[in-house]
Structure 1
Amino acid sequence: MRLADFLADRGIKDSDFAETIGVSRMTLWRYKSGDRRPEWDVLKRIVQATEGHVTPNDFLDAQAEAEAAQPPVEGAAA
């Protein structure tokens, strides 16, 4: 389950969850949007805080989606 979906489904505010896992709201937003992947220690805290509903694999999927949504860089090899 994606982190954004988990938080929305349970009505958990970003600020509360960010505090629970020990990161800033901006960092949490980057995790949710796929702009950034959490370090292993933060991943462990996320898995624990979500009781296993959000796993490290969920962030790999989010990263792939974010990269796929990026427009191609002009002049880059395809």
Structure 2
Amino acid sequence: MKRYVDITSSRTGPPLANEPLLKEEYEIALTTAQESAEGEQMCELEYENSNSKVEEVHQTGEEVNKKEKNPQVEAEAIPTG
């Protein structure tokens, strides 16, 4: 991306709060804000997915505990030859 410099401007650093942004600076700021928002949404999705995985693990853990309490159920299911 080409960056055009206004040689008539005396500004050498970032714009002050009361100065208007140049078109290129506005586009950069807008793109950065959009990328930040997208990243935040991805983090939220990852967090929701991690919560559902935790619930799944918790449920399977409960199933394992139930099986351990009733070892006879598994023993009856295995055919003896």
Question: Do the two structures share a fold, i.e. TM-score over 0.5?
Answer: no
Tell me the TM-score normalized by structure 2.
Answer: 0.27
Which of 1 and 2 has greater Rg? 2
Tell me the TM-score normalized by structure 1.
Answer: 0.28
